[in-house]
Amino acid sequence: MRMRMTAPRAVAALGLGLVLTLTGCGANSSGGTAPASSAPSGGVKVGVILPETDTSARWEGFDKPMLDKAMRAAGLDPDIQNAQGDEQKFSTLADGMISSGVKVLVIASISSDGGSAVAAKAKAQGIPVIDYDRLNLGGTSDYYVSFDNEQVGALQGQGLAQALTGKQGAQVIQIEGAPTDNNATLFYNGQQSVLKPMYDSGQLKLVANQPIDKWDNQVGGTTFEQLLTGNGGKVDGVVAANDGLAGAIVTVLTKYGLNGQVAVTGQDATADGLQAILRGDQYMTVFKPIQEEADATAKLAAALSKGDTATADATATQTVDDPKGNRQVKSVLLTPQLITKDNVKVVTDAGYVKASEICVQTTQAACDTAGIK
Ligand code: BGC
């Protein structure tokens, strides 16, 4: 597909490449459930550190309230903080939690190195650590709770392949997550399990593959725009590693009049992502029921806070490989689900997002067709 540009726009885009205004992406507007309560539950103190707010709507919109609720229900008193993408802050928050006497530390780290350093400090104080969602490569955490992240990537690859069926030689740009997040590697590996054979056979053509530092949505958009203009404005499919990046990419596609004609993937089933799917601007997302992730984490943390490793081991019956630390980490790995326009209702039926968050003026007709209300 070739982008349509008016002449002055074309000149500006080709000359400057990087300059664009991104609106409505990055910090997504969606929210999950009710805000976290700050009332002390009188339970055992547990520290939770989330990595960022701007890379995905999930952390503050879903993980925080869901972890809070699940942990309180398990008799714990959670202190849930967000490091806002700042490694120093991540480390300082951990120090504060360790010295305040948390019995378990749950970390979704910004990078494996930062997370591993925190895990080592906690271990030195005898505090068990759970890696939440992101595994710290080379770390020492006792347990890991996440989704099957290679499967997440495979679903993205399958979604893209499905959207490009019959388009021989369709051109693909891949915009990936942060190189310091092991999940981004797993997503990529999963995508490649589907896409590489298609590139090798010539069914699809890979234009470029670009990881985005810190999952920065805005940088994802500008990087995509450069790659698009560098390819003469041609693209048929975009692997966007999550809905935040997809939103930034759709903004660029819209600027060039290409939105709705290019298949874009996503992940996290955010309200913004689901709206884009219903509008036809994004092809798919991956629904990861974070409630299950929160529940499993709360169960593990409750057991570990009592030193009950037998129950913890009975909960974390899977393992993942940490190739850097050369060890198998006891894990809970949950199942992700592919969402396209045909089954957005799965996400609203699960109560994960409300119909009112996704059925707006531009999507109402699609909501009516899908029976979402
Ligand atoms: C998570 C994704 C999220 C991304 C950016 C990954 O580690 O698994 O759900 O979209 O980080 O925050």
pLDDT 10s digits, 9-20: 333 333 333 333
CA distances from 335 to 145, 146, 259, 293 (A): 12, 9, 30, 10
For ligand 1, whether the C-beta of 293 sits within 6 Å is no
Tell me the average pLDDT across 89-98: 98
pLDDT 10s digits, 242-297: 999 999 999 999 999 999 999 999 999 999 999 999 999 999 999 999 999 999 99
The candidate with the shortest Cα–Cα distance to 191, out of 237, 235, 151, is 151
User: In Å, how far from its chain's centre is CA 221?
Assistant: 16
pTM for the model: 0.90
pLDDT 10s digits, 151-193: 999 999 999 999 999 999 999 999 999 999 999 999 999 999 9
For ligand 1, whether the C-beta of 147 sits within 6 Å is no
Q: Ligand 1 pocket test: which of 56, 131, 152 has the largest number of ligand atoms within 8 Å of its C-beta? A: 56
Q: Which domains does the chain have, with CATH numbers?
A: 38-147+290-334 (3.40.50.2300), 149-288+337-370 (3.40.50.2300)
Q: Using DSSP bridges, classify how beta strands 327-334 and 337-340 pair: parallel, antiparallel or unpaired.
A: unpaired
The candidate with the shortest Cα–Cα distance to 148, out of 358, 355, 333, 359, is 333
Give the Cα separation of 102 and 94 in Å (integer).
10
Residue 136 scores a pLDDT above 90: yes
pLDDT 10s digits, 305-363: 999 999 999 999 999 999 999 999 999 999 999 999 999 999 999 999 999 999 999 99
Task: Please give the single-letter amino acid code of residue 101.
Answer: G
pLDDT of residue 34: 42
* Contact in structure between 10 and 228 (CB atoms under 8 Å): no
Burial (CB < 10 A; 0-12, 13-18, 19+), residue 196, is middle
Q: What Rg do the C-alpha atoms of the chain give, in angstroms? A: 21
Query: In angstroms, what is the span from residue 196 Cα to ligand 1's centroid?
Result: 23
Give the Cα separation of 282 and 284 in Å (integer).
6
Tell me the average pLDDT across 97-112: 98
Q: What is the 3-state secondary structure (H, E, C) of 33-68?
A: CCCCCCCCCCCEEEEEEECCCCCCCHHHHHHHHHHH
Query: In angstroms, what is the span from residue 239 Cα to ligand 1's centroid?
Result: 15
pLDDT band at 220 (very low <50, low <70, confident <90, very high): very high
Q: Ligand 1 pocket test: which of 58, 150, 175 has the largest number of ligand atoms within 8 Å of its C-beta? A: 58
pLDDT band at 42 (very low <50, low <70, confident <90, very high): confident
Share of the chain above pLDDT 90, in %: 88
The candidate with the shortest Cα–Cα distance to 353, out of 58, 23, 71, is 58
Tell me the average pLDDT across 206-232: 98
Query: In angstroms, what is the span from residue 56 Cα to ligand 1's centroid?
Result: 7
CA distances from 249 to 80, 137, 154 (A): 31, 30, 20
How many other C-beta atoms are found inside a 10 Å radius of the C-beta of residue 127? Answer: 22
Residue 3 scores a pLDDT above 70: no
Give the Cα separation of 247 and 210 in Å (integer).
16
Give the Cα separation of 82 and 92 in Å (integer).
11
Which stretches within 204-259 are classed as H helix? 217-230, 243-255
| 3-state SS class at 268 | coil
Q: Which atom of ligand 1 is nearest to the CA of 183?
A: 7
pLDDT of residue 43: 87
For ligand 1, whether the C-beta of 54 sits within 6 Å is no
In the chain, the largest separation of any two C-alpha atoms, in whole Å, equals 68
Q: What are the tokens at 165?
A: 């069926």
Residue 40 scores a pLDDT above 60: no
For ligand 1, whether the C-beta of 242 sits within 6 Å is yes
